[in-house]
Every structure is written in C-alpha cells, then in structure tokens.
C-alpha cells in the first residue's frame, strides 16, 4: 500500500527539488525530503497499522462482551 503512495510522491518531490535547483535557489529540501519519505513511510505505515489493529481489537472485544460476539456454524460437506 505504501508503494502506491510513496512512489508518486517521491517522483513529485524529486521534480520539485530539481526545479528549485535549476532556478538557482538551491532548494534541495524537497528532494531530500522525498528520499527520507520513501524510507520512513513503510515504517510509519507498519507502526500505525499495528496501533489501529490493537485499538480495533480492543473495541471489538468490548462490543463482543456486551452483544455476545459473532457466532457461526459449520458443517462438513461430503
């Protein structure tokens, strides 16, 4: 999922950095930010995904106590 977001943003920030550098402003910050962004975005996604998963599981467990949870039956098909 992070590749879908990170790659286009990396290209856009790199383009901004190249435009800033050619105008003589020496504005390489967008290019540097894009490199850091590509490295840290998957890590941030993993951390936030874990935190959201823990919060969601906690909320589900609270609701399941009050409502009885989700029940399903299975049967063997021969």
Contact 28, 21 (CB under 8 A): yes
Question: What's the pLDDT tens digit per position in 36-75?
Answer: 777 787 788 889 999 999 999 999 999 999 998 888 899 9
CA distance readout (Å), 68 to 33, 42, 71: 49, 37, 8
pLDDT of residue 26: 58
User: What ranges do the domains of the chain cover?
Assistant: 2-65
Q: Does residue 31 carry a pLDDT above 90?
A: no
Q: Residue 42: name the closest of 15, 6, 12, 72 by CA.
A: 6
pLDDT of residue 44: 86
Determine the 3-state secondary structure of 28 from DSSP: coil
pTM of the model: 0.55
pLDDT of residue 56: 97
């Amino acid at each position: 999922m992070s590749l879908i977001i990170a790659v286009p943003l990396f290209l856009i920030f790199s383009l901004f950095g190249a435009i800033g550098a050619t105008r003589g402003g020496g504005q390489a910050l967008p290019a540097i930010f894009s490199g850091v962004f590509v490295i840290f975005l998957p890590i941030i996604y993993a951390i936030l995904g874990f935190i959201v998963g823990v919060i969601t599981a906690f909320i589900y467990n609270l609701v399941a106590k009050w409502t009885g949870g989700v029940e399903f039956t299975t049967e063997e098909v021969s």
